[in-house]
Amino acid sequence: MRKEVNINHLTRVEGHGAVSIVFENDRLKEIKLRFTEGPRFFEYITRERLFTEVPKIVSRICGICYVSHRLASCFAIEDAFKAGIPDEIKLLRELLTVGEFLESHALHLYFLVLPDFMGYGSTLEMANDYPNVVKRGFFIKDVGNRIMKIIGGKTVHGENIVPGGFESIPKKEELEEIRELLYRVIPEIEATISLFDSFNYEKTNKEHSLRLCIDSEKFSLIGDKLFLSDGTLFTKREYEIFVEEKVSDYSTAKYSTIKGKPYLIGPLSRVNHYIEKFSGEVKKRIQTLKNRFPTDNTLLANLSRAIEMLELSYQGLDIVEDLLKSYPFTGKVKLHPKKGTGYGVKEAPRGTLYHRYTFDEEGRCIGANIITPTAQLQSVIEKDLKELIELYPELNDSELKKKAEILVRAYDP
C-alpha cells in the first residue's frame, strides 16, 4: 500500500519549498525536499561583466542576506587581484555584518519561528496577547536595519559596499549612534535568549555526522579557513574539493555533500564550534541556560541564533570603539585588475557561503561559481526529516506535517 504526505508550500520560510514523504506498506520509502524557486542563472549573468558590476548582480540572489553575498563577492575579487585591505575597512565590514545578523535572526526568530512555540498561526495573531514580545522583535530587527543603512547606504541592496571597501564611511556621530543602539539592544537580546531557552525542544533527529563553519581564534563570520567537525581543516581555495555539488532532478537547488555525507551548516554548527571561544559575558550567559551546548538537536538552531546576536552585539561595541579611535580612516583602496581566480567565503545567517570568480586582464569575469547555504542544506534537511519519522513512527499525517514544518523552519532554508 502506497501513501504520500505532501507539504505543498512550506510557510514561514524565506524561500519557496515543498516536502514529499512517501510510504509503502507503512514503511518510509523516500523523502524529497523541493526548493521550487525558478532558476535565475546568476553565475551565467556575471559573464563578461566588469568586476565592479559583479557584487551588484550577485547580491540580488537574496534580499535578506544581500550583505553576505556582496561581501563574499568582494572578498573573491580582492583575492583575485591580490589586494591588501586596511584593518579599518575589515572592521567596518564586520560591523556591517553585525547589522545583517541582527536583522535576519530577529526576523527568523520572532516572525517565522516564534508562532510555532507560542501556539499561534502567525506573529500578527500574537500581537494582541503578547504586544511587548512582538515589539521586541521589531526593535531588534530595526537596529539591524539601521546599522545596514548607515554603513551600506540602504537597508536592502546598499550600493555603498564595493570591491576595495566602501564608497564612503559613516560619520563619527553615526558610529556613536550605532554604539548607543547596541547598548540598547543587548537587554532585548538577553530577553530573547531567555524566551527561546524556556521552550521544550523535542528530539527531532539523530547526530549530525559532519558540521562545517569558518574557523578562527574567536567567534567569526569572516575568514579564509574552514573547519569540519571530524577535525579536518581546509582553505577557501579547497572548498570545491571538499564540497561536492550534484544536480537534483526534483529541486532547483543543488544537492551538496562532503565525503559523501550530508553536513550541517549555520547557527547551530557555529555555536557548537565556538562554544569555548565566545566572549566572557556570552560564555557566562550560556552557562545559565537549561539547554546545553554542544548539541545535535536541530531545533536548538533557534536558540543558537539568539546566542549569536548577543556575541555579535558585544563584538560590535568593541569594533565601534576601534573605529572611533582611528577616525577618520580610508574607506576604499583602489583595485588593479589582473588575470586570475579569487575565492571568498563568509558565514551568512543561514550558513557558509562560497563565491569564486575568474577574471581576464581587464577585470572582466570569465567564470563563476556560487555555493549558497540553501544548496548545502537540502541533503541535511532530508536526513533530519527521515530521522524524524524514525523517531516518531506513530505520528498521524497532520502531526507529521506540523513537526516536519517546524524542523525545516529551524534551518531557515
Binding positions for Ni(2+) are 65
Q: Return the pLDDT at 16.
A: 66
- Asked if residue 129 and residue 7 are part of one domain, the reply reads no
- Whole-number mean pLDDT of the chain? 92
Given a cut of 80, whether residue 21 has pLDDT beyond it is no
- Taking the C-alpha atoms of residue 1 and residue 11, their distance in angstroms, rounded to an integer, is 29
Q: Return the pLDDT at 8.
A: 66
Exposed, middle or buried: residue 183 (CB in 10 Å: 0-12, 13-18, 19+)?
Answer: exposed
- Taking the C-alpha atoms of residue 106 and residue 91, their distance in angstroms, rounded to an integer, is 23
- Asked if residue 140 and residue 19 are part of one domain, the reply reads no
Q: Return the pLDDT at 354.
A: 97
Q: Return the pLDDT at 12.
A: 63
- Asked if residue 370 and residue 391 are part of one domain, the reply reads yes
- Asked if residue 137 and residue 30 are part of one domain, the reply reads no
- Asked if residue 30 and residue 51 are part of one domain, the reply reads no
Binding positions for Fe cation are 65
The total number of structural domains in the chain stands at: 2
The pLDDT tens digits of the residues spanning 329-381 come to: 999 999 999 999 999 999 999 999 999 999 999 999 999 999 999 889 999 99
- Asked if residue 332 and residue 202 are part of one domain, the reply reads yes
Average pLDDT over residues 131-143: 98
HSE-up (13 A, CA, CB side) for residue 76: 33
Query: What CATH number did the domain enclosing 286 receive?
Result: 1.10.645.10
- Asked if residue 7 and residue 137 are part of one domain, the reply reads no
Of 241, 273, 234, the residue nearest 257 (C-alpha): 241
The pLDDT tens digits of the residues spanning 292-329 come to: 999 999 999 999 999 999 999 999 999 999 999 999 99
Q: Return the pLDDT at 62.
A: 79
Q: Return the pLDDT at 252.
A: 67
The pLDDT tens digits of the residues spanning 182-226 come to: 999 999 999 999 999 999 999 999 999 999 999 999 999 999 999
Please check whether residue 147 is in contact with residue 95, taking contact to mean a CB–CB distance below 8 angstroms. Answer: yes
Q: Return the pLDDT at 262.
A: 96
Higher per-residue pLDDT: 144 or 155: 144
The pLDDT tens digits of the residues spanning 227-259 come to: 999 999 999 999 999 999 987 776 666 789 999
- Asked if residue 85 and residue 17 are part of one domain, the reply reads no
Binding positions are 43, 62, 65, 370
- Asked if residue 148 and residue 14 are part of one domain, the reply reads no
Binding positions for Mg(2+) are 43, 62, 370
- CB-based burial, 14-49: b 16+ in 10 Å, e otherwise: bbebbbebeeeeeeeeebbbbbeeeeeebbebbeeb
Q: What percent of the chain has pLDDT over 70?
A: 93
Exposed, middle or buried: residue 405 (CB in 10 Å: 0-12, 13-18, 19+)?
Answer: middle
Confidence at 15, pLDDT banded by 50, 70, 90? low
Confidence at 14, pLDDT banded by 50, 70, 90? low
Confidence at 393, pLDDT banded by 50, 70, 90? confident
Cell 499561534 appears where?
120
Q: Return the pLDDT at 9.
A: 66
- Asked if residue 138 and residue 94 are part of one domain, the reply reads yes
The pLDDT tens digits of the residues spanning 87-123 come to: 999 999 999 999 999 999 999 999 999 999 999 999 9
Q: Return the pLDDT at 154.
A: 85
Given a cut of 70, whether residue 25 has pLDDT beyond it is no
- Asked if residue 171 and residue 97 are part of one domain, the reply reads yes
Range of the domain at 27: 2-35
The pLDDT tens digits of the residues spanning 38-95 come to: 566 888 899 999 999 999 999 888 777 899 999 999 999 999 999 999 999 999 999 9
- Asked if residue 23 and residue 112 are part of one domain, the reply reads no
Q: Return the pLDDT at 38.
A: 55
